[in-house]
Every structure is written in C-alpha cells, then in structure tokens.
C-alpha cells in the first residue's frame, strides 16, 4: 500500500468514525420538553393537546398564508399499525426510510391479548417536540420522525377490556410521555425508547369507567379525566408526573350533604350517581392557577324524572385551582340536560375586550347549539347566543343566560322531534380562535331525530338507557365564525348537500389568515379566516383529527391524520 493510499484510508476512517455520532444523533428521538414552553405560543413544537394553555389552537406562524397556501404540497405520508404483533417502521410514502422496530408490550390484560385490533384511528392531538411526533390510539402509542414519517417505536398495552371509543392524545414532561388506557390506567413511557416507566390505576376496572382524555400537564400536576355511561359520579384527578402518585381528586357532583349544588338534586343518592364526567380537555390560566374544563351529561340521561332540578355540576364550566383541586367558580351552560349533550367541548381563553374594556374571558360553544362568553376570573356570565340554526329543544334563556330544556322535547312514548341529534350541533373536536380576526370558529351540524321513550319506569333506565333515537335528517353542515362580542355569526361556510357528514373535525387557525379544517367530500381544506372562502384543498379522505402546525428546519409544516395515516404538508418552494 502506497503512502498516498494509506493517507487516504486514514482520512476515510476518520470521516466514517466522525459520521457515526451524527447518524446516531439524527436517529435518536427528540429529548426533553421544558414545561415552561407551554406558557408560550407554540412555534417549533406542538407540545400539548391544543398547542398551548389557551386552547385557542391559534398559531403565530405565517409563512403559510392566504397568498402562499396555494403552494402547499404533500411532504410525506406515514402509516400506523396497531396491535401486539405490529412491527413499527412502516410508511406509505416518505422522503426518508427506517428499519422495522419490534413492538414493546405492556399492560395488565391477558396473554395473548384477545382480538386486539390491528387498525388505528388517530382522532386526538399529535405532539411534536424536537422533531419527533408522538401519537396514540386506544392501547397503542407511537413515536414518528417528523421529517420523513418513519416510525421510531411502537408501544402496545394489553387491555383488560373496557370501552375503546377513542383516545385524544398524550402529554409530555421532560423525557416522559403519558397516556390513558380504556381499562383505566395512566401509563408513562420513556420518550426516547417507548419503554414503560410505570403505570397507575385511574379507577377500579370493575367500576367500568373508561379513559380517553389526553392528560394535561401543568407544572408538577398531571390532570387526568374519565368517562362513564353508567350512573356513576364524575371526577378529575391530579397525579405527580414523576412518581404517578395521586395528589388530589375533585368530584364533579355533590357527594355529601351540605356540598355546593346538593340542593339541585332531589336527594343525595341521585347526586352521587349523577354523571358529570370529565373526558374532555380544558384550558389553563397561569395567572390564577385555574384549570377550566367542561363536564358531561347527568345520568340517567334520558329519564330525568328521577333527577328533577338543575343537576349541578353536570354540563358545567368549572374552574379548579390546580394546586389544591378546589373549585374556584362554575357556570352551568346546560341545566337539567335531557339528551346526553354534555358540555365537554374545549373552552378557549381569550385576553380580549368587553364593552370597550380589557377583560379576561373564556369562550365555549356547546354541543346543544349555544355559545357562551364567561369572565374567567370570576365565572360571571356575560353572553349567550344560539349558533345552531336548527336547535329546537330549549325554552327562552333564563335570567342567568341559560337555555333550559322544554319538557315537550324530552323522549316520549309517541316520539318527539328534536334538534340536534345526540351527536350535537358540535361535539368534542376542538374549536379555534384567531385574535387577529377576533373570531371564534366551530363546526356546525344541524340534524333532527325522533326520541322515543322505551322505559316508562325510570327506575329501569340507568345510564343511557330507556329511549330509542331514530335520525330523520339534516339541514346541513357548516363551519361558523362567531364574533364573541355579539354572539353573532360573521360568516358561515355551508357545505353542499351529499358527500357524507364531514366538516365536523377540529380546527386550526393561524396568523397567516387561515383556518384549516375539512369538508364533506373527503378534503383537507384551508379557509380564509376573514371570509370562510376555501383557498386550498387536498383530497386525503376523511380527516379524523384537528390539524396542527409548527416549524422544522425553518419550514412551516401542517400535520393532519386520516385514520391510521398521517399526512405532512409544506410549501413547495
């Protein structure tokens, strides 16, 4: 070997050795979410359910705007496979690649897991931190490279059973991830490897709660909610994100004589079995330490004769102090709900004006078709308006600004024609608010059903029983833009008839003057935030979650899911 060849060989070896750490660094999952970043508008990350604590789903990014959105193009498509035998790493189309990674299996269920589904449906938030995406479906969690869509690891939870209705996403603190399971466990994973760190019981499985909420991280508190379709009390819990130990538990119905709200139930037995589940994510005000969230329907849902009264704190906005779990204020948006409509819809915090003066507000559009503006420091009611055109179930507003149910629209033996149907004018997919336009954006679905009472003895109709609902039609779907100062709709983008019942997925709005959502034709759409005009679309099929946006390598990305498939878009520059 000549001296020249020897020298070249040494140079080559040095280059290879130097390159190895770079390759390993590029393949290593993102590390570390500083919880303080949640206090700032998200730019290069999407670190929590709605992007930041305000839950307004507004991004300050504007590289993609009304002018440039026409150049928005597909960057990659990633595919997820659920179940214990899944092999991570599969993707449909990507600019990069990745080797298959074995699935990590945990959980308390039987071995092998019976009838574990192999299909995934992403309906909740996808976290993005340091170039890594983190997503979950019932019993499954994944990490994916945000630059090319390749799967880095997959975790599967062996379940005991339970209601596998959906999963709204994960929370992150430092190097740790958290998600809920349908059989009522809180699981913590190592974000770098997907290996389980610990799991803790949320509620006893025999009580048949189900857990779908995306855990909500606030400092050293990890807030966890549950659902239940039986006659059980709702509650919100706070766990230590480091150890998983319970810090406090807040019941959302009165549990003892003398509790606030006990007089809104006929007796304590009715109250203690009254529902008010906490499966929806809320918003956090760091100035007051208030976590503000909505609660679910009262139970039994459709035979209200056994629970006469307003039924606090069902269908209610509640502010709790995150350090103590004590309620600071409440406002009931739906007293004595008789159709299982809930008020779990995401509240949005706005630092705005009211009658010309600065005011800290919380806005909420509820499933029953009404929009509310509340003072978020005190819970004072400021405005109620009806945004659901077809909603016909309520009496005129009372002196508290509350819609109260018309008994003629309860389930009856001959049947009652009611709007909305059980799915609601809107549902849990999150709304958005744009401070530049001053508009609140929410999907609207105007539908009608016949509600029949099938159990005339209310003692035989627990939970959601005692009725039959038959859908009879719809007058259309739309996306609405509401001026919170007046409650009036500034624009309504109505979808053409036919093409399915789309358009109801969650929304994203940006400083670029856009609202991202879907339509009834299987399109992912960018709308003009000021007018509602559709400016761009991509036909990806049924959009299943709310879009999100962030910067990676200086480029603004827009991410959205269709079931088990993740789509990433960037500007074609």
Residue 367 vs residue 97, higher pLDDT = 367
Percentage of residues of the chain with pLDDT beyond 90: 83
Cα 94 to Cα 567: distance, rounded to the nearest angstrom: 10
Q: Which of 364, 390, 388, 387 is nearest to 375 (CA)?
A: 364
User: What pLDDT was estimated at residue 254?
Assistant: 98
The three-point CA angle 424-426-429 to 5° equals: 125
User: What pLDDT was estimated at residue 460?
Assistant: 79
Sequence-separated (6 or more) residues with CB below 8 Å from residue 247: 221, 237, 238, 239, 240, 325
Cα 9 to Cα 504: distance, rounded to the nearest angstrom: 61
**Tokens 């709200």 belong to residue:** 261
Report yes or no: 55 and 346 within 8 Å, Cβ to Cβ. Answer: yes
Q: Which of 257, 263, 340, 258 is nearest to 303 (CA)?
A: 340
Sequence-separated (6 or more) residues with CB below 8 Å from residue 3: none
* 2 has pLDDT over 80: no
Cα 573 to Cα 113: distance, rounded to the nearest angstrom: 47
Query: What number is the average pLDDT over the span 56-81?
Result: 97
Q: Is 136 helix (H, G, I), strand (E, B) or coil?
A: strand
Q: How confident is the model at residue 83 (pLDDT cuts 50, 70, 90)?
A: very high
Least confident of 9-13, 200-204, 318-322, 559-563: 9-13
User: What pLDDT was estimated at residue 99?
Assistant: 52
Percentage of residues of the chain with pLDDT beyond 70: 91
Phi then psi for residue 139, to 5 deg, are 75, 5
* 89 has pLDDT over 50: no
Query: What number is the average pLDDT over the span 243-248?
Result: 98
Query: What number is the average pLDDT over the span 281-291?
Result: 98
User: What pLDDT was estimated at residue 502?
Assistant: 59
User: What pLDDT was estimated at residue 23?
Assistant: 31
Least confident of 73-87, 228-242, 511-525, 526-540: 73-87
Report yes or no: 369 and 425 within 8 Å, Cβ to Cβ. Answer: yes
User: What pLDDT was estimated at residue 452?
Assistant: 97
Q: How confident is the model at residue 7 (pLDDT cuts 50, 70, 90)?
A: very low
Least confident of 108-112, 259-263, 305-309, 554-558: 108-112
pLDDT, the chain, mean? 91
Residue 281 vs residue 502, higher pLDDT = 281
* Domain boundaries of the chain, sorted by first residue: 267-480
User: What pLDDT was estimated at residue 24?
Assistant: 32
Cα 505 to Cα 567: distance, rounded to the nearest angstrom: 15
Least confident of 110-114, 261-265, 427-431: 110-114
Q: How confident is the model at residue 512 (pLDDT cuts 50, 70, 90)?
A: very high
User: What pLDDT was estimated at residue 343?
Assistant: 97
User: What pLDDT was estimated at residue 458?
Assistant: 76
Q: What is the CA radius of gyration of the chain?
A: 24
Q: How confident is the model at residue 86 (pLDDT cuts 50, 70, 90)?
A: low
Query: What number is the average pLDDT over the span 180-185?
Result: 97
Q: pTM, whole model, 2 decimals?
A: 0.92
Secondary structure element (H or E) that encloses residue 357, with its range: strand 357-365
Q: Where does 267-480 sit in CATH, by number? A: 2.140.10.10
User: What pLDDT was estimated at residue 31?
Assistant: 58
Query: What number is the average pLDDT over the span 156-181?
Result: 95
Q: Could you report the per-residue pLDDT of 436-491, keeping only the tens digit for each? A: 999 999 999 999 999 999 998 877 788 999 999 999 999 999 999 999 999 999 99
Secondary structure (DSSP) of 509-548: EETTSEEEEE-TTSEEEEEETTT--EEEEEE-S---S--E
User: What pLDDT was estimated at residue 222?
Assistant: 98
* 27 has pLDDT over 70: no
Q: Is the dihedral of CA 185, 189, 195, 199 positive or negative?
A: negative
User: What pLDDT was estimated at residue 498?
Assistant: 52
DSSP 33: B
User: What pLDDT was estimated at residue 1?
Assistant: 40
Report yes or no: 89 and 99 within 8 Å, Cβ to Cβ. Answer: yes
User: What pLDDT was estimated at residue 496?
Assistant: 83
Query: What number is the average pLDDT over the span 557-573?
Result: 96
* 81 has pLDDT over 80: yes
Distance of CA 502 to the CA centre of its chain: 17
Which tokens hold the place of 559? 């991410």
* 21 has pLDDT over 60: no
* 11 has pLDDT over 70: no
Q: Could you report the per-residue pLDDT of 370-397, keeping only the tens digit for each? A: 999 999 999 999 999 999 999 999 999 9
Least confident of 167-181, 348-362, 496-510: 496-510
DSSP 460: G
Query: What number is the average pLDDT over the span 548-561?
Result: 98
Sequence-separated (6 or more) residues with CB below 8 Å from residue 62: 510, 511, 512, 513
User: What pLDDT was estimated at residue 571?
Assistant: 97
Cα 560 to Cα 550: distance, rounded to the nearest angstrom: 12
Beta-carbon neighbour count of residue 258 at 10 Å? 7
User: What pLDDT was estimated at residue 504?
Assistant: 81
């Amino acid at each position: 070997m000549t001296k020249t060849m020897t020298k070249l060989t040494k140079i080559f070896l040095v280059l290879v050795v130097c390159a190895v750490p770079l390759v390993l660094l590029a393949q290593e999952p993102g590390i570390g979410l500083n919880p303080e970043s949640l206090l700032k508008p998200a730019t290069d990350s999407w670190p929590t359910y709605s992007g930041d604590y305000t839950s307004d789903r507004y991004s300050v990014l504007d590289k993609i705007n009304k002018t440039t959105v026409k150049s928005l193009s597909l960057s990659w498509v990633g595919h997820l496979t659920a179940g214990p035998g899944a092999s991570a790493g599969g993707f449909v189309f990507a600019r990069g690649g990745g080797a298959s990674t074995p699935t990590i299996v945990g959980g308390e269920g039987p071995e092998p897991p019976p009838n574990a589904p192999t299909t995934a449906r992403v309906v909740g938030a996808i976290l993005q931190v340091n170039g890594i995406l983190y997503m979950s479906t019932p019993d499954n969690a994944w990490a994916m490279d945000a630059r090319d869509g390749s799967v880095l690891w997959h975790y599967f939870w062996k379940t005991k059973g339970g209601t596998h209705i959906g999963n709204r996403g994960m929370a992150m603190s430092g190097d740790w991830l958290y998600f809920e399971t349908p059989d009522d466990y809180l699981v913590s994973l190592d974000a770098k490897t997907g290996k389980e760190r610990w799991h803790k019981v949320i509620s006893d499985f025999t009580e048949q709660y189900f857990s779908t909420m995306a855990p909500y991280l606030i400092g050293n508190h990890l807030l966890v909610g549950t659902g239940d379709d039986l006659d059980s009390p709702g509650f919100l819990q706070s766990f230590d994100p480091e150890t998983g130990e319970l810090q406090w538990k807040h019941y959302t119905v009165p549990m003892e004589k003398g509790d606030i709200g006990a007089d809104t139930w006929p007796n304590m037995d009715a109250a203690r079995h009254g529902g008010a589940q906490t499966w929806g994510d809320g918003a956090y005000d760091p100035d007051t330490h208030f976590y503000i969230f909505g609660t679910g329907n009262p139970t039994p849902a459709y035979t209200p004769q056994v629970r006469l009264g307003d039924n606090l704190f069902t269908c209610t906005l509640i502010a709790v102090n995150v350090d103590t779990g004590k309620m600071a204020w409440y406002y009931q948006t739906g007293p004595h709900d008789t159709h299982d409509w809930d008020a779990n819809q995401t509240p949005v915090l706005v630092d705005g004006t009211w009658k010309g003066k600065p005011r800290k507000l919380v806005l909420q559009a509820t499933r029953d078709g009404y929009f509310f503006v509340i003072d978020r420091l005190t819970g004072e009611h400021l405005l109620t308006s009806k945004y659901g055109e077809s909603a016909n179930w309520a009496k005129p507003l009372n002196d508290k600004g509350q819609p109260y149910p018309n008994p003629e629209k309860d389930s009856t033996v001959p049947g009652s024609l009611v709007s909305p149907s059980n799915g609601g004018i809107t549902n849990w997919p999150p709304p958005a608010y744009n401070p530049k336009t001053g508009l609140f954006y929410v999907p609207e679905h105007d539908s009608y059903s016949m509600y029949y009472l099938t159990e005339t003895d209310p003692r035989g109709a627990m939970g959601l029983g005692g009725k039959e609902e038959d859908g009879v039609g719809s007058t259309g779907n739309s996306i609405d833009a509401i001026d919170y100062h007046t409650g009036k709709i500034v624009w309504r983008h109505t979808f053409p008839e036919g093409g399915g019942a789309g358009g109801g997925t969650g929304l994203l709005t940006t400083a670029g003057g856009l609202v991202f959502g879907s339509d009834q034709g299987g399109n992912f759409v960018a709308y003009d935030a000021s007018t509602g005009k559709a400016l761009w679309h991509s036909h990806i099929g049924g959009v299943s979650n709310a879009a999100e946006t962030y910067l990676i390598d200086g480029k603004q990305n827009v991410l959205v899911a269709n079931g088990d498939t993740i789509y990433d878009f960037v500007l074609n520059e």
